[in-house]
Amino acid sequence: MTDNRNTRVLVVAAAVLALVLGFAYGATFSGGCELVKDAPFGCVEWWLARYQTLIAMFGAIFVAWLSVQPVLRQLKLSSLQTAVALQQVHADREKRLENWFKPELAVLEKLSDDLVSGYYRNEDDHAVLPHWVWNLNQTVDSTRDRLVQRQIKNIGSTEIAAHRQSLIDILKRLSDCMSDYNGSVYGDDPEYDLSDEDRAKIYEAEERARQDLPSRIDEVSVAIRKFGEAVTAEVHDVRKRRRFYDQVLASSDSHELGS
């Protein structure tokens, strides 16, 4: 951009000079010089006196152009240094996001698949389903604990943090539902000294959990998908910014090679 501005200034200066010389040349052949033919410098003295304002303006433009060149070069250098710094910042952030979230998303997507496929595969097998719920409950709890640690470290943008917190809350509801699903294991165990009222509450919670479990699993799947979309959007935005500064630096290198 700076090179284009310099070229335009030179073109304008050359046009002004050509205009001055054209007027002078025309005056020479129109008889103007005859009036001052006896002057020490003849025609030159005449057109210098006639066009001194225009010549002075041209000289001022040229001097101004020369004076701003160091400033323009410094501005260009400062812009390049800023572009290099920002390109590195976005490149590092892009790499960190991919390193942080790619394995995390893979784990979450596997959890979603295991929940959906496992439940609907075993929903009619009342001998297997409670054991499957028990085992998956451990996985849900460990996944939620890991997400909580990520949230504490504040990894990712504000939008990612919001979707992560939503997923944490939904996983907590699923975990509670899964715990209640096998509540009768404790209610029927004589080791636990429970009153009839406590047992009634456990059985009630278990029945409610059996009804709610499919919708809780669907909520988790939707939350995982939205979290993945937020991460993908963040990585895409950072990559777009990084590529912009890549192009800025590449364009600068091309200008330098061309000059």
Of 35, 61, 60, the residue nearest 47 (C-alpha): 35
Rounded distance between C-alpha atoms, residue 239 and residue 249, angstroms: 15
Dump pLDDT digits (tens) for 152-190. 988 788 899 999 999 999 999 999 999 999 877 765 556
- CA torsion angle 104 106 111 113 (round to 10): 160
Our measurement of the distance from residue 22's CA atom to the centroid of its chain's CA atoms, rounded to an integer in Å, reads: 56
- Higher pLDDT: 219 or 53? It is 219
Q: Is 195 helix (H, G, I), strand (E, B) or coil?
A: coil
Residue 194, Ramachandran bin (φ over 0: left; ψ between -120 and 50: alpha; else beta): beta
- Higher pLDDT: 22 or 223? It is 223
Whether residue 4 is predicted with pLDDT greater than 80 in this model: the reply is no
Phi and psi angles of residue 193, each rounded to the nearest 5 degrees, phi first: -85, 85
pLDDT at 41: 47
Whether residue 2 is predicted with pLDDT greater than 50 in this model: the reply is no
pLDDT at 215: 95
In this prediction, residues 111-138 reach a mean pLDDT of 91
pLDDT at 44: 59
Whether residue 40 is predicted with pLDDT greater than 70 in this model: the reply is no
Q: Which residues of 213-250 are buried (b: 16+ CB within 10 A; e: fewer)?
A: beebbebbbebbeebbebbeebbeebbebbeebeebee
In this prediction, residues 15-25 reach a mean pLDDT of 56
Q: Do 200 and 229 contact (CB within 8 A), yes or no?
A: no
- Higher pLDDT: 254 or 60? It is 60
pLDDT at 17: 59
Of 216, 144, 140, 143, the residue nearest 177 (C-alpha): 216
Dump pLDDT digits (tens) for 187-202. 555 666 667 787 788 8
pLDDT at 60: 75
Residue 73 host element (H or E): helix 52-122
Residue spans of the domains in the chain: they are 2-81, 85-258
Q: Do 197 and 181 contact (CB within 8 A), yes or no?
A: no
